[in-house]
Amino acid sequence: AQSVSQHNHHVILSEAASLELGCNYSYGGTVNLFWYVQYPGQHLQLLLKYFSGDPLVKGIKGFEAEFIKSKFSFNLRKPSVQWSDTAEYFCAVNALYGNNRLAFGKGNQVVVIP
Amino acid sequence: GAGVSQSPSNKVTEKGKDVELRCDPISGHTALYWYRQSLGQGLEFLIYFQGNSAPDKSGLPSDRFSAERTGGSVSTLTIQRTQQEDSAVYLCASSPRNTGIGNTEAFFGQGTRLTVV
């Protein structure tokens, strides 16, 4: 079964700083990849997704992620964060034609200081 | 409905009691997922439904946990003889089809916060 690793569980940074969150997965086959965000008191919502094609995908609110197949990675980036980006970020992976399980990482708690 | 709806939003129960958590998926979504979210533990997969059948129950942590789905719509997660370690937020998600066989995403509900005292 696929597994997902997210490092640096707690991230604190100032507004306008750049953000990069790492995501690595373990599965040798074809995958669909997702980043979800959970703002304080809100439900999980999709930030961006990769199914196929251009490995650099752009999502909402200025976020982007790059799929590097050789590294089994799908890192999330934002060049300049805002206070409103304070949230928990989850990477998720679904193996195509595998066990049909959408597997999540443990999440990154990001706090942006004004 | 417009989104995934879960009820109750909060549940406090005494240790040893049974609880039922309900999930109303988005209309027409055939795939339904249950997850458990504990502080610092991310989302723990519990069970997945395709229609009314559950091809993957391997995430259920013990035989005290069970789930069913009827009419390809509403799902109920039941926890019998609750323990304090069952305290968590239980999340439900649905998608138009299995996210593993089609290019689709899962849509999440607000969750049910379960507290066992």
So what's the pLDDT on residue A1?
66
Per-residue pLDDT of chain A (114 residues; tens, 9 = 90+): 678 999 878 999 999 999 999 999 998 788 899 999 999 989 999 999 999 899 999 999 999 999 999 999 999 999 999 999 999 999 999 877 666 678 899 999 999 999
Which one-letter DSSP state was computed for residue B20? E
In chain A, whose CA is at the least distance from the CA of B36? A104
C-beta atoms of B99 and A32 within 8 A: yes
So what's the pLDDT on residue B58?
84
Summarize pLDDT for B20-53 with one digit per residue, the tens: 999 999 998 988 999 999 877 789 999 989 889 9
Task: Say how far apart CA A87 and CA A62 lie, in whole Å.
Answer: 15
Contacts of A45 in chain B (CB under 8 A): 108
Find the CB nearest A106 among B41, B91, B107.
B41
CA dist A68 → A23, A37, A56, B19, B88 (Å): 11, 21, 9, 43, 34
Q: Extract the tokens encoding B11.
A: 């549940």
For residues B67 and B42, the model is more confident at B67
* CA-based torsion, B50, B55, B60, B65: positive or negative: positive
In chain B, whose CA is at the least distance from the CA of A89? B42
Size of interface A-B (CB pairs under 8 A): 66
